[in-house]
Every structure is written in structure tokens, then in C-alpha cells.
Amino acid sequence: MAEHLKDSPSVTAAIADAGHALRNGRLVILPTETVYGLAADASNPEAVAAIFEAKGRPRFNPLIAHVADAAAAERLAVLDGRARALAEAFWPGPLTIVAPIRDASAVCDLARAGLDSVAVRVPGHARARAVIEAFGGAVVAPSANRSGRPSPTTFADAVEETGASAAAGVDGGPCAVGLESTVVSVLGGRVALLRPGSVTAAEIEALIGPLDRGAEEGHRSPGRLTLHYAPDAPVRINADEARPGEIFLGFGPGSGDPRWSLSETGDLKQAAARLFRLLREADREKPSGIAVAPVPAEGLGEAVNDRLKRASGFVG
């Protein structure tokens, strides 16, 4: 469906317009602290189908339901003690919890890809919660990129990717985190890390004890496809320098051209926030490839390396 993105006169008007569009079953560009989302009414199968169409996304890949607070999440999902402890510590914020579904009608079957679990998150960005409140229900929102491409971390990038399918959108500025939320499943008494993100495994374990390594297989995120987050140019990781025709994304002092550095000071938070934007900007130069310096894999570096590996087509 070709849409015309409404040009609202103010942020307040844009939020109201977004709520209205969601109630009418239309799609909305949603700012969050992680990446921009393409949002729809979670209970409306036609609206959810429009997301899959706009993204060119495989339908077996379930979506995250975004709600304004933990009480709203509890109405959708059954959160046990550990899930509640995670919610209390990290919401609002970049953590998604996969838990057994409580109210199947609030998040339609298509949005859950037929699973009897549901992914829930309370976003940290105040404008995301304002849109959800203006709408008055749960919204499902995958990243606003076309399937397989880097997630958008600015409003302009989101509009370029999927704006043609959205009836409204809210500009929330550049995303502070820049990587998608950490996804943790809390199912049948087991806790598994399904997608690394800025809430790290160490932070989760400090709170609720060891993750069940090995439970990932059973709880596996169907969305973790091989080639993902990929620009058009091939990505080569753990590179020391550029080969002819490549753009080199450095990390740390003296690593390549500062213009293309993930972080000149070697700051992982900055690297996470800049990664997708730099991949996009590099791609626009139409290089023969994008070479990326090694990034240490500790803490937030685990999530950065996860996205880099997938962008380069390597799956571990």
C-alpha cells in the first residue's frame, strides 16, 4: 500500500497523528532509544500483515509488542519472578522479554508467528511511550529497515527505508543506543539470551543468576537469519586496513580515517551508536567493500560483534 507520510506541524501533533494512524490500522515510524521501528496495532492482523509486506520480512519471524509500562506487559504475557526482576531493573529500556502469552487476542497470531510466547518491551524513549499512550494499546514494531538491511538509527534513514508504507511518523532524533534491544526468553523456568544488545549478559546474570546456556536452541529467535544488518557492499570484519576500493571503519586511537571511525577513543557505547549509521554512509559511497577493524568482544562489544558478523554473512 503506498502511503503518504503526514507532515505534522509539531512533535505533539505528530504523536497525536501517529496514535490516530495506528487506531486506523495504518503503519507509523516509531522512534525508540535502540533503533527506529515500523509500528502497527498489535491486535490487527491486516495492519501487521502490512508490516511484513513493507519490510519484505519472512512471516515466520515474530514481532516485539511495545507497551507503555510493566503493568501493560503483564496483561499480555505471563512474567515469572525472574522476568519481573528483569523488567523492574531494565524497563523502560533496551531489553525485550519473551514469555508465555497471556492474552492472545491483544497480540494477534500473525504478529507472534503462531507461537504461544510473546516478546514484550517498554521502550526507554519518551516519544515511543507517548505514541503508545496516544494509541492506547500494544504496538508491534520491528526495526524500520527493509528485511536484511541495517536498522535505521535516524528518522531520515527510517523514512528512506520504509517511509513509503507509513501514514505517520515521529522524529525522536538520533538513537542513543543504536543497536536493537537485548532479547531474553524466560520460558518454562529457563532463561536464555536470544539476541545480545546493550543490556549485557553480565548485567542480566548479576541480577538473576546464570543464563541457561544451551536453552537458546529451543527458544531460538526465528529472526536470527544468517545475512542480516547488511549493506549492499560486502563487509569484511577484523580487518587491519583497507584493501584497494574499500572503506575502512576504524576502532580506537590511530585506527584509520577519523571520519570513518566507530570510536576514536575505543568507546564501545559510541561504536554501538555509530555502527549502523556508518555502514549506511559507507554504502552510499559505493565502495568495493567495507572493512571493519577488530572490536573487543566484552560487554557491549558482544552485541557489536554479533551485528558485524551477521552483516558480513558469517554465522557463529
Q: Which does 230 bind (CB under 5 to 8 A by kind): Mg ion, ligand TXA, none?
A: none
User: Which residues 227-286 are close enough to bind Mg ion by CB under 5 A?
Assistant: none
CB of 143 to Mg ion, least distance (A): 3
Cβ distance to ligand TXA smaller for residue 212 or 246: 212
Residue nearest to ligand TXA (CB): 223
Q: How far is the CB of 46 from ligand TXA (least distance, A)?
A: 18
List interacting residues with ligand TXA (CB under 6 A): 32, 34-35, 37, 61-64, 96, 98, 112, 115, 117-119, 141-143, 180-181, 183, 194-195, 221-224
Nearer to Mg ion, 143 or 182 (CB): 143
Q: Which does 165 bind (CB under 5 to 8 A by kind): ligand TXA, Mg ion, none?
A: none
- Residue span 137-166 as binding mask against Mg ion, x where in contact by CB under 5 A, dash where not: ------x-----------------------
Nearest residue (CB) to ligand TXA, 216 versus 264: 216
Q: Quick check: 32 binds Mg ion (CB under 5 A)?
A: no
For ligand TXA, give the closer residue by CB, 26 or 66: 66
Beta bridge partners of 120: 65, 97
Residue 199 touches which of Mg ion, ligand TXA, none (Cβ within 5-8 Å per kind): none
Contacts of 214 (CB under 8 A, 6+ apart): none
Report in angstroms how near the CB of residue 175 gets to ligand TXA at its nearest.
9
The grid coordinates of residue 100 equal 508465555
Residue 230 C-beta: closest distance to ligand TXA, Å: 14
CB nearer to ligand TXA: give 60 or 314.
60
Footprint of Mg ion (CB under 5 A) = 143
